[in-house]
Structure 1
Amino acid sequence: MTEEDLTRIARGYRSFTAGARYSSPLYAELAEHVAGSATVLRFLAALPTGKRQPNLLFAALQFLGGAPVDGAELDRRVADDAERLRATMLARATQTNEPARCGALLPVLAQLDAPLTLVEVGASAGLCLYPDRYGYDYDGVRVGPADTVRIAVTTSGGVPVPRRLPTVVARIGVDLNPLDPADPDDRAWLRALVWPGPAADERLHRLDAAADVAADEPATLLHGDLVDRLPDALGFAAPGSTVVVMHTAVLPYVPEEVRGRFADAVRDLPVRWLAQEPPGMVPGTGERPDDAWGAHFVVSLDRRPLARSAPHGGRLEWLGGGLETSPA
């Protein structure tokens, strides 16, 4: 490891602090501590580059014994439990599966020609493959069932709130390491990925309810790369359905060269491409933020920006205009 490695890692954790400050003050505090902790920085520098992210470190700590209460406990646990922590971070990945993001996807999905086949890349446990099984509240306008997952969305800009849920006839997910919503260990990892903070209890309750839905009606989950397995996933599409390739908060974890190949692959397929990603991750959706995430996500269809959303759901700003009736 070099001083340059340590400086780069510290810079990344300081950048994370700004985005975490409001949703998880504890994680913001811990990230700031990591940026100045020789103990933790050296531990992280010994890991592969793709395994050094704040989300992964903090989730692994939660998974193994709960979130540290302060920097002193963080240093102590990294020093005393380094082998288990390293093994967990190498075996696991950041696979936050927030069903509330469906609140931003639903107004788009409801305008597409039904029935729908949903193909989600970077699916984690596939909880976003069930937008038709959840209930929604758009500023008091309720859509969907009242006895399942409830997703509240604050809107602006004239969001086209759907009157009914779309018909989904096939659900296919692709992930490097698909998680099983019925497996207690996988569900524990999903819970560990939820940031401690003001919204944690609500998010955990929603996560558990969505995992129950997914466990009762399992999606087809394929193991592998989003480019390589996309043709296989399309083979499971229901005949006569509109195929929607979709993803939320996935592309920042994908190398730029692979992102380009994925964009080219989707463009050449007879599918609709629905994305909820940081600006610039999908071509034509704005300038990329310096920290790769930014304060909001862009909801786009076939590369056309339609709305801005809160990263974990709950807020949706429509940018104006309607949907194209077919891919551009």
Structure 2
Amino acid sequence: MIDASRYTDFALREARGVSPTYERLAFAIAADEQVLGLLATVPESKRQPNLLLGVVRLLGGPVDDPAAFHDFTVAHWPAIEAELRTRATQTNEAGRCAVLLPVLAALPQPLALLEVGAAAGLGLYPDRYTYRYGDHEIGSGGPVLDCALTGTAPPTRLPEVVWRAGLDLNPLQVTDPADVAWLEALIWPEHRHRRERLRAAAAVAAADPPTLIRGDLVDDLPGLAAQAPADATLVVFHTSVLYQVPPERRTAFTGLVRELPGHWISVEDPDVMAYQGLPSAPDGALHNVLALDGTPLAWARGHGQAMTWFAPTG
């Protein structure tokens, strides 16, 4: 049997106030010994709530009724287990670019972007989206990304991107309907605006596809980084990726990325990337830490919907 607290924590810290459907369902799974017993048969990294819920939705299962979810999961477990073992959460949320933008816009231009854990590469187009920070809007194309920003002034320009590439163990193609179906299955049920945003961002990427390399974040990062143009600022970045990486590989990656030229932006759970002396998070919801070159700058919500800047501003 697995620890049910993983699902209660998801309900309380991630789904509460964001997805009533998933909050209710996660609490039900935490109390469902049969489903927990089935989850215990797959590797620990494959038991995470977002992965299970996304797989069930991909297979056409119900998530709005816990009893129906239980019945479907038990009846279709072989198919669910197979998908769990081969898939990973690849929530390619373009909204996270709103968290990256204040840092990207302040770096020496132009930029060469390299995203680790890129999925379909939707995070590689921060220069082609529109952003709304309260009453301040910047940009004029692609989807509109809303972010409640506090603690610093919103950026006043978009970055100039001259090269973009992504690294992923299983890169997805926005031109492949099956890959897009998986991305849509990972979007929470009530989030129609995120589905619309995904489709708009996918259209941006499909019009000018990024370079996506199938590879490991340690073994294959130096070779891809070396392809960036020398006259651009290399920026290696990742958002909500390292929790899927074993601790020893995490350590190897962070040591490697610090040695590369340019800059490194991370947006990760503080339980995954620890920092000393962090201020308290704004509330009890799950917040990631935005950091530049290992220095924490701000708290950020998982889908880019809010950011609280706490670093000194010059």
TM-score using structure 2 length: 0.93
Q: Distance in 2 between matches of 1:207 and 1:272?
A: 27
Q: Which residue of 1 aligns with 2:29?
A: 34
Which residue of 228, 253, 256 corresponds with 1:262?
Answer: 253
Q: Which residue of 2 aligns with 1:326?
A: none
Q: Which residue of 1 aligns with 2:18?
A: 23
- CA deviations 1:125-162 (Å, max 9, x no partner) are 111110001011111111111x4210112221123x22
Q: Which residue of 2 aligns with 1:11?
A: 5
Q: 1:165 to 1:203 in 2, by over 3 A?
A: same
Q: Which residue of 2 aligns with 1:150?
A: 144
Q: 1:122 to 1:182 in 2, by over 3 A?
A: same
Once the two structures are TM-superposed, the CA of residue 73 in structure 1 deviates from its matched residue by: 0.7
The farther-off stretch of 97-106 and 18-27 is 18-27
Give the secondary structure class of the aligned counterpart of 2:167: strand
CA contact (8 A) 2:118 2:167 kept: yes
Q: 1:150 to 1:80 in 2, by over 3 A?
A: same
Give the secondary structure class of the aligned counterpart of 1:247: strand
Give the secondary structure class of the aligned counterpart of 2:106: coil
What aligned pairs does 1:299-314 form with structure 2 within 5 A after superposition? 299-314=290-305
What aligned pairs does 1:64-75 form with structure 2 within 5 A after superposition? 64-75=59-70
Q: Which residue of 1 aligns with 2:126?
A: 131
* Match status 1:121 vs 2:116: yes
State the one-letter code of the partner of 1:31.
A
* Match status 1:63 vs 2:58: yes
The farther-off stretch of 30-39 and 260-269 is 30-39
Q: 1:202 to 1:50 in 2, by over 3 A?
A: same
Q: 1:317 to 1:187 in 2, by over 3 A?
A: same
Q: Which residue of 2 aligns with 1:318?
A: 309
Once the two structures are TM-superposed, the CA of residue 216 in structure 1 deviates from its matched residue by: 1.2
Q: Which residue of 2 aligns with 1:203?
A: 194
State the one-letter code of the partner of 2:204.
V
Q: 1:7 to 1:81 in 2, by over 3 A?
A: closer
Give the secondary structure class of the aligned counterpart of 1:179: coil
* Match status 1:227 vs 2:218: yes
Which residue of 159, 165, 169 corresponds with 1:166?
Answer: 159
- CA deviations 1:74-111 (Å, max 9, x no partner) are 11111211122112212211110111110110011001
Q: 1:207 to 1:221 in 2, by over 3 A?
A: same
Q: Which residue of 2 aligns with 1:94?
A: 89
State the one-letter code of the partner of 2:19.
S
The farther-off stretch of 233-242 and 110-119 is 233-242
Q: Distance in 1 between matches of 2:276 and 2:122?
A: 25
Which residue of 17, 39, 46 corresponds with 1:44?
Answer: 39
Q: Which residue of 2 aligns with 1:242?
A: 233
Q: 1:280 to 1:38 in 2, by over 3 A?
A: closer
TM-score using structure 1 length: 0.89
Once the two structures are TM-superposed, the CA of residue 271 in structure 1 deviates from its matched residue by: 2.2
Q: 1:288 to 1:265 in 2, by over 3 A?
A: farther
Give the secondary structure class of the aligned counterpart of 2:147: strand
CA contact (8 A) 2:12 2:285 kept: no
Which residue of 249, 265, 276 corresponds with 1:274?
Answer: 265
Instruction: Compute the RMSD of aligned alpha carbons.
Output: 1.9
Q: 1:223 to 1:288 in 2, by over 3 A?
A: farther
- CA deviations 1:37-92 (Å, max 9, x no partner) are 12211211111222111111100011111542222111111121112211221221
